[in-house]
């Protein structure tokens, strides 16, 4: 017969083993919910305790490496590239100054006829030698892999068609103050998280499906809304402003301080833009 001390020790070990098993199971289930886009905090009521339980100090363990195949790139293209496919911008960072921006890609860029190279004031939209590069699958795969150390493989799309129609709306919660590009437009604190989550809850309450994307800096985000069909950009933006202005009341938020802009950024293309 075991001594009482030994019995207690065995019971403690059994309980510790069960606790560890339940902890592992809990973490796995939350991971599966996160992958399925289900918020654990919303299910349990969004308490502070629930939010703290969601945080895992080892966030890197949640990142799963996988091969970017043509099929995956095609699915990504179908979801996010809902705009013009005949033109795109590519990110470029000056290795000497660190300044970066997005530049329209043209087959004739830097050729002797290129007005940008000549610096004669003729803009790309007015260039007689304009030959925009189209979006291709290899380009999308390079964007998704992100192998360029300074991010010069990042693609930016033109979401509005020439007839002023669009099929997506993006809310930008990055810091676009002067000089912020040096830190990839990172916000100065973490309060933007409350605002992006507030807008996400607003959309959820209205049965509007959204996708939230963390920004390159890690201190900002973009919230995407996709429409089933092309609609006028003016209508899409009016809907976006309604979410921001009226919806904030439902989550006791006076205004969105960290909201920077909405994409498309205008109701219609300027006259003559192609």
Structure-token match 């009226």, residue found: 246
| Contact criterion met (CB below 8 Å) for 259 and 244 | yes
Q: What is the structure's pLDDT at 254?
A: 62
pLDDT at position 194: 84
4-10 contacts at long range (C-beta below 8 A, 24 or more positions apart):
none
Which of the four pLDDT bands, split at 50, 70 and 90, describes residue 187? Answer: confident
3-state class of 247 per DSSP?
helix
- Name which residue leads in pLDDT, 3 or 141: 141
pLDDT: which is higher, 14 or 258: 258
Greater pLDDT, 137 or 244: 137
Helix (H, G, I), strand (E, B) or coil at 16: helix
- Mean pLDDT confidence for 169-191: 77
Q: What is the pLDDT of residues 75-96, one digit of tens each?
A: 999 989 899 999 999 999 888 8
**pLDDT (tens digit per residue) in 23-57:** 777 777 777 776 666 666 556 554 444 444 455 66
Residues 6+ apart with CB under 8 A from 118: none
Question: Residue 55: what pLDDT?
Answer: 57
Predicted local distance difference test score (pLDDT) of residue 50: 44
pLDDT of residue 273: 59
Q: Name the region of 223 (left: φ>0; alpha: ψ -120 to 50; beta: rest).
A: beta
User: Cα separations (Å) of 27 from 18, 22, 33, 207?
Assistant: 14, 8, 10, 28
Answer yes or no: are the C-beta atoms of 188 and 244 closer than 8 Å: no
The Cα 220–Cα 37 span in angstroms is: 19
Average model confidence (pLDDT) across the chain: 82
Overall average pLDDT of the 179-198 stretch: 77
Residue by residue, DSSP assigns 47-91 as -HHHHHHH--S-GGGG-------HHHHHHHHHHH--SEEEEEEEE
According to the model, what pLDDT value does residue 164 have?
95
Q: Is pLDDT above 70 for 225?
A: yes
Instruction: Quote the pLDDT of residue 4.
Output: 52
pLDDT score, position 232: 96
**pLDDT-based confidence at 99, cuts 50/70/90?**
confident
The answer, yes or no, to whether residue 21 has pLDDT greater than 70, is: yes
Query: In this prediction, what percent of the chain has a pLDDT beyond 90?
Result: 36
110-132 per-position pLDDT tens digit: 898 898 888 898 988 889 999 99
Q: Could you tell me the domains of the chain?
A: 80-158 (no CATH), 159-274 (3.90.920.20)
Of the candidates 145, 142, 139, 103, the one whose C-alpha atom is nearest the C-alpha of residue 124 is 103
Angle between helices 192-205 and 233-245 (to 10 degrees): 110
The answer to whether the pTM exceeds 0.85 is: no
CB 223 within 8 A of CB 210: yes
Q: Are 256 and 244 in contact (CB under 8 A)?
A: yes
Residue 255: per-residue pLDDT: 66
Give the integer Cα–Cα distance in Å for 57 and 55: 6
Average pLDDT over residues 139-156: 92
Q: Report the pLDDT value the prediction gives residue 245, as an integer from 0 to 100.
A: 81
Q: Which H or E element spans position 223?
A: strand 221-232
Higher pLDDT, 133 or 215: 133
| Residue 224, pLDDT score | 96
CB 157 within 8 A of CB 80: yes
Distance of alpha carbon 240 from the chain centroid: 17
Select the more confidently predicted residue: 150 or 211.
Answer: 211
């Amino acid at each position: 017969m075991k001594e009482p001390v030994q019995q207690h020790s065995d019971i403690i070990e059994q309980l510790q083993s069960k606790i560890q098993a339940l902890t592992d199971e809990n973490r796995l289930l939350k991971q599966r919910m996160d992958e399925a886009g289900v918020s654990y905090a919303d299910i349990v009521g969004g308490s502070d305790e629930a939010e703290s339980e969601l945080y895992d100090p080892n966030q890197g363990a949640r990142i799963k490496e996988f091969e970017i195949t043509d099929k995956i790139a095609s699915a990504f293209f179908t979801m996010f590239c809902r705009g013009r496919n005949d033109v795109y911008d590519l990110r470029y960072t000056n290795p000497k100054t660190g300044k970066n921006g997005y530049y329209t890609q043209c087959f004739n860029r830097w050729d002797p006829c290129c007005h940008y190279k000549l610096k004669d004031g003729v803009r790309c939209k007015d260039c007689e030698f304009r030959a925009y590069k189209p979006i291709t699958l290899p380009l999308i795969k390079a964007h998704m892999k992100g192998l360029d150390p300074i991010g010069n493989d990042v693609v930016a799309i033109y979401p509005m068609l020439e007839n002023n129609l669009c099929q997506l709306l993006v809310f930008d919660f990055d810091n676009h103050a002067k000089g912020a590009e040096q830190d990839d437009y990172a916000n100065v604190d973490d309060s933007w998280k409350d605002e992006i989550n507030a807008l996400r809850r607003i959309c959820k309450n209205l049965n509007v499906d959204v996708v939230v994307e963390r920004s390159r800096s890690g201190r900002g985000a973009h919230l995407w809304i996709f429409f089933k069909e092309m609609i006028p950009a003016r209508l899409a933006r009016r809907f976006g402003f309604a979410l921001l202005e009226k919806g904030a009341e439902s989550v006791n938020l006076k205004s969105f301080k960290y909201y920077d802009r909405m994409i498309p950024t205008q109701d219609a293309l300027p006259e003559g833009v192609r």
